[in-house]
């Protein structure tokens, strides 16, 4: 275990850890309200984490209530839609958080600061462990120490792995990254010495990979590449086709069996389709959007990955067998990732499903660096890597400060915010462009329109103005915070749909440009007692407006939750919070039901 005794590697890993702790304290724990640590366990991460709170705190794993976000109803009971591997990886840190909370007399509810900080440390520890296995893998392939250290720093700070170790440590990706690195290293080591303990560790790592996210089991397709050639692959497989194969098989099955056992506890069934009303569009993969779009293009937000794929040329020069193995893996990975119904994977930084496979991208980068024989060429190549690392750090800062949108970018927005970091760009983008929920089959429920030239059902307004042009009458917001609104009162027909989907269109004119803090579109859902259960706003302007007295048309699409009861009200309105000069015309709302 020479790597364990390598002071340069340990020093580099320690440096990475210290930098990440600083970034965690600065951007994750503090946050704009100085209470950022209360949001460490959030979004998808909260779903994974609920296995721990339900098992060890509320003790209701078998009787959870459906929330239609993390927990869904089945015929036999409520089930957590997420797989349990991430929670299993977090378990030791959850225990540490529990002990810390008890000692500090903090609430033992799973979400008090000691728990949140414990999960932050979980992300950082799995990051360093994954980088450790990555370093060992690189050196196993003959990469020199200097290049190895450069690459683990580049993969950390030059990709969105950083965000999911520091800012979103409750998501699954940093844990998957660690176990994929472990799988690749011990697989390669087994092909080198064919020792039983190494194939057993491969089985454990592969079990965790599948338990965290089953589609990541695609990593098994890299086995021929790791073997190096057909003869080695054949002899290595033959070497375990005996009683020795029983041990790694049992290890793998013991790990993946955790999930059906948990399903059995929750629903009484060993096998459940937990991702209710979600799925793949295998006949319509969004490959170009996944790889190149301004919304969430993998290569646009992580250009280091695109650079690394040039390393396939080096692999092909050495071995067509290895090249075809890797090509098959990457093609299927991209295809399956692009086939998921929500191809941009919700609010996130970059294309997060690729994070777990960065050890392979690092390996390809190492092949490229060693391919350049002249020191001058290597320096140029390392300079390009440094440039991409700098770009990633800048865009990571933009993501944290909400300069770039986590779900709703486009070319116009990307151009406006490119390389911008000043506070005037914080939360400067507006608009909403949610895709139609799975399975894209929607039922028209309402289509309401107001041109402010007549009195329409569902609409209210308090002040109009004659524009003196083709728009004729318009809602006049000068010195008014609120003016026009559309209230859709739900009948029993609306309550049968599991989701709603709204398409909104309006014309906007600002006699005086609003700049960053422009007017908002607001949507609120409330019951008959006027108690809100859903509220959201977004800017009318996609980027701050600089054009005075000009009509512009905007369209939006928004996914909305289920209506709870007949008589509930869905209100669409304009919030002119700064009481600026603003005119609104041709306001249309089309509401669909998603079964």
- pLDDT tens digits along 140-166: 999 999 999 999 999 999 999 999 999
Contact (CB, 8 A) for 276 and 81: yes
pLDDT of 412 > 90? The answer is yes
At residue 236 the predicted structure's pLDDT band, cuts being 50, 70 and 90, is confident
Mean pLDDT over 11-34 rounds to 89
pLDDT of 222 > 80? The answer is yes
3-state secondary structure of 529: coil
DSSP 2-68: GGGG-HHHHHHHHHHHHHHHHHIIIIIII-TTS-GGGGSS-THHHHHHHHHHHHHTS--TTSPPP-S
Q: Which residue, chain included where needed, has tokens 């994954």?
A: 130
Distance CA 36, CA 116 (A): 10
What was the pLDDT predicted at 32? 60
Q: Mutual orientation of helices 246-256 and 196-212 as an angle, nearest 10°?
A: 20
Q: Which residue, chain included where needed, has tokens 């050890």?
A: 359
| More reliable by pLDDT, 246 or 9 | 9
pLDDT of 134 > 90? The answer is yes
Average pLDDT over the chain reads: 94
Distance CA 281, CA 213 (A): 18
Q: What is the pLDDT of residues 21-32, one digit of tens each?
A: 999 999 888 866
Lowest mean per-residue pLDDT among 178-182, 382-386, 544-548, 564-568:
544-548
8: number of Cβ within 10 Å: 11
pLDDT of 1 > 60? The answer is no
Instruction: Give me 290's structure tokens.
Output: 């996944």
What was the pLDDT predicted at 52? 98
Mean pLDDT over 507-513 rounds to 93
SS (H, E, C) 258-312: HHHHHHHHHHCCCCCCCCCCCCECCCCCCHHHHHHCCCCCHHHHCHHHHHHCCHH
Distance CA 34, CA 55 (A): 30
What was the pLDDT predicted at 237? 82
Distance CA 359, CA 363 (A): 6
Distance CA 571, CA 258 (A): 45
Q: 442-594 — its CATH code? A: 2.60.120.1310
Distance CA 347, CA 163 (A): 13
Q: What is the pLDDT of residues 426-484, one digit of tens each?
A: 999 999 999 999 998 999 999 999 999 999 999 999 999 999 888 899 999 999 999 99
Distance CA 25, CA 14 (A): 16
323: number of Cβ within 10 Å: 17
* Alpha carbon separation from 199 to 3, 140, 179, 236, 589 (Å, rounded): 20, 16, 14, 10, 59
At residue 12 the predicted structure's pLDDT band, cuts being 50, 70 and 90, is very high
What was the pLDDT predicted at 238? 79
What was the pLDDT predicted at 30? 80
pLDDT of 224 > 80? The answer is yes
Specify whether the backbone of 402 is left (phi greater than 0), alpha (psi in -120 to 50) or beta. left
* Alpha helix positions (H), 343-374: 358-371
Q: What is the pLDDT of residues 43-58, one digit of tens each?
A: 999 999 999 999 999 9
SS (H, E, C) 127-147: HHHHHHHHHHHHHHCCCCHHH
Mean pLDDT over 278-283 rounds to 96
What was the pLDDT predicted at 419? 97
Q: Long-range CB contacts (< 8 A, 24+ apart) of 399-407? A: 399/163, 399/167, 399/349, 400/27, 400/163, 400/167, 401/425, 401/426, 402/426, 402/427, 403/427, 403/428, 403/429, 404/429, 405/429, 406/347, 406/348, 406/349, 407/295, 407/296, 407/344, 407/346, 407/347, 407/348
Q: Mutual orientation of helices 173-193 and 85-103 as an angle, nearest 10°?
A: 120
Q: Please state the domain extents for the chain.
A: 2-415, 442-594
Contact (CB, 8 A) for 332 and 339: no
Q: Which residue, chain included where needed, has tokens 């057909």?
A: 230
pLDDT of 36 > 90? The answer is no
pLDDT of 373 > 80? The answer is yes
Give the contacts of 157 (CB within 8 A, at least 6 positions apart): 389, 392, 393
What was the pLDDT predicted at 104? 96
Q: What angle do CA 122, 123, 129 make, to 5 degrees?
A: 90
Contact (CB, 8 A) for 532 and 444: no
- The sheet carrying 532-539 orders its strands as 459-460, 485-489, 569-575, 520-526, 532-539
At residue 568 the predicted structure's pLDDT band, cuts being 50, 70 and 90, is very high
What is the model's pTM? 0.95
Mean pLDDT over 67-75 rounds to 87
Q: Mutual orientation of helices 145-157 and 358-371 as an angle, nearest 10°?
A: 140
Query: What is the 3-state composition of the chain as percent helix, strand, coil, each rounded to the nearest 5?
Result: 50, 15, 35
pLDDT of 583 > 80? The answer is yes
């Amino acid at each position: 275990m020479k790597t364990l005794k390598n002071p340069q590697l340990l020093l580099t890993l320690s440096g990475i850890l210290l930098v990440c702790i600083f970034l965690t304290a600065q951007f994750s724990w503090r946050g704009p309200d100085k209470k950022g640590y209360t949001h460490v366990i959030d979004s998808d991460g909260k779903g994974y984490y609920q296995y721990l709170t339900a098992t060890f705190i509320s003790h209701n794993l078998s009787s959870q209530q459906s929330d239609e976000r993390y927990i869904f109803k089945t015929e036999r009971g409520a089930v957590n839609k997420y797989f349990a591997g991430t929670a299993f990886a977090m378990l030791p840190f959850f225990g540490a958080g529990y002990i810390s909370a008890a000692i500090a007399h903090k609430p033992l509810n799973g979400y008090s600061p000691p728990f949140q900080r414990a999960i932050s440390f979980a992300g950082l520890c799995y990051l360093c462990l994954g980088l450790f296995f990555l370093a060992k893998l690189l050196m196993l392939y003959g990469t020199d120490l200097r290049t190895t250290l450069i690459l683990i720093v580049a993969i950390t700070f030059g990709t969105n792995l950083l965000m999911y170790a520091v800012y979103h440590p409750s998501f699954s990706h940093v844990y998957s990254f660690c176990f994929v690195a472990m799988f690749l290293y011990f697989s390669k080591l087994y092909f080198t010495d064919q020792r039983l303990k190494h194939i057993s560790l491969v089985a454990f790592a592969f079990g965790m990979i599948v338990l965290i996210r089953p589609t990541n089991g695609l990593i098994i397709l890299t086995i021929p590449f790791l073997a190096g050639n057909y003869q080695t692959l054949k002899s290595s497989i033959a070497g375990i086709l005996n009683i020795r194969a029983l041990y790694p098989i049992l290890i793998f099955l013991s790990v993946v069996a955790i999930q059906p056992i948990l399903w059995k506890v929750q629903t009484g069934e060993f096998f459940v389709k937990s991702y209710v009303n979600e799925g793949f569009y295998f006949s319509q993969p969004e490959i170009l959007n996944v790889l190149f779009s301004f919304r969430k293009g993998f290569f646009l937000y992580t250009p280091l990955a695109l650079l690394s794929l040039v390393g396939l040329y080096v692999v092909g020069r050495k071995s067509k067998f290895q090249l075809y193995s890797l090509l098959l893996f990457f093609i299927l990975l991209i295809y399956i990732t692009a086939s998921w119904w929500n191809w941009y994977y919700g609010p996130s930084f970059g294309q997060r499903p690729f994070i777990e496979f960065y050890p392979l991208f690092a390996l390809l980068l190492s092949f490229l660096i060693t391919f350049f024989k002249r020191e001058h060429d290597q320096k140029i190549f390392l300079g390009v890597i440094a440039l991409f690392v700098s770009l990633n750090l800048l865009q990571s800062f933009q993501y944290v400060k909400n300069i770039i949108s986590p779900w709703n970018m486009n070319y116009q927005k990307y151009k406006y915010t490119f390389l911008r970091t000043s506070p005037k760009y914080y939360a400067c983008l507006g608009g909403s462009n949610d895709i139609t929920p799975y399975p894209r089959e929607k039922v028209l429920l309402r289509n309401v329109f107001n041109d402010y030239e007549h009195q329409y059902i569902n609409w209210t307004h308090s002040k109009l103005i004659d524009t003196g042009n083709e728009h004729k009458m318009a809602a006049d917001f000068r010195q008014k915070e609120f003016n026009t609104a559309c209230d859709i009162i739900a009948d029993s027909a609306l309550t049968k749909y599991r989701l709603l989907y709204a398409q909104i269109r309006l014309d906007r004119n600002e006699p005086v440009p609003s700049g960053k803090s422009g007017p908002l579109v607001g949507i609120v859902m409330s019951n008959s007692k006027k108690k809100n259960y859903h509220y959201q706003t977004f800017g009318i302007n996609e980027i701050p407006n600089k054009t005075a007295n000009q009509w512009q048309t905007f369209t939006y699409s928004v996914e909305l939750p289920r209506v709870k009861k007949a008589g509930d009200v869905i209100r669409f309105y304009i919030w002119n919070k700064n009481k600026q000069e603003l005119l609104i015309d041709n306001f249309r709302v089309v509401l669909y039901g998603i079964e």
